[in-house]
Amino acid sequence: MRRVALLLSCALLAGCNQASGGAAPDTLQASADAVDGDTVSVHFRLLGVDAVERRQQCERKDRCWKCGKAASSLVSDVLDRAPATIAMTGEETYGRPVAIVSAGGKDLGLTLIRTGFAVPMAQYLRDDPERLRAYEEAYAAAKADRIGMHAGEWIEPGEWRKGRRLSCERRPSLSTAR
C-alpha cells in the first residue's frame, strides 16, 4: 500500500464543523507533519494496494528508470486535479490509518494499478470482493499491456522494502569501485 499525504487545513476542519450544524466532527488519530502554521499533512495507506516505493527503480530496455518517483508524481497530479474523498476503513497498518481514497470520483488505488504502479493485495480486500475483482482485472490488463512497471523488470514493493534490488539499482561499494 502506498502512503498518500493529503492536506487538511484548520479552516477546512472548522468549515466541516459549521456545515454540520456545530456537531462535533469525526476524529482521526494519525501521524501528521506541519506544512505551515495552519496546515498539516496526514498520511494514509491505501486499502488493498502495494505501490512501488518513492526511491524504487524498475528496469526496461536494460536501464533503470524511476518508477517510484513516477508513481508519486501520478498520485500528486491526480490529487491536484480534483478534491479527494477519503473513506476511512477503521484499520491501521504501519502506524497509519487505512483508507479508500478517490479523486474526481475515481479510486486512487485502482488508478495506481491500472497505470502499472501498484499490485492488488487480496488479503486486505476479503470483505470487498467487488473491489478485489476490479483491482485484479486492472492488474491483469496493465500486465498484458506492459504498462508502468510491467514494461520490464521490477521487484515486488514488499521485497524491495526488505532490501532486494534490481542489478541496475545496485551501486558498487567504495571498496570495489576503485
Question: In the structure grid, which three cell numbers stand for residue 125, read together?
Answer: 480486500
Q: Is the pLDDT of residue 11 over 60?
A: no
Q: What is the DSSP string of 149-165?
A: GGGSB---HHHHHTT--
pLDDT (mean) for 151-172:
91
Tell me the range of 33-37, 41-45, 49-53 where mean pLDDT is highest.
Answer: 49-53
Q: How many CA atoms lie within 13 A of 161 on its CB side?
A: 11
State the fold for domain 46-163.
OB fold (Dihydrolipoamide Acetyltransferase, E2P) (2.40.50)
**Confidence band for 96, pLDDT divided at 50, 70 and 90:** confident
Q: Where are the alpha helices (DSSP H) in the chain?
A: 10-19, 67-81, 108-114, 129-144, 157-161, 174-177
Query: What predicted TM-score, i.e. pTM, was given to this entire model?
Result: 0.81
For the chain, the structural domain boundaries read 46-163
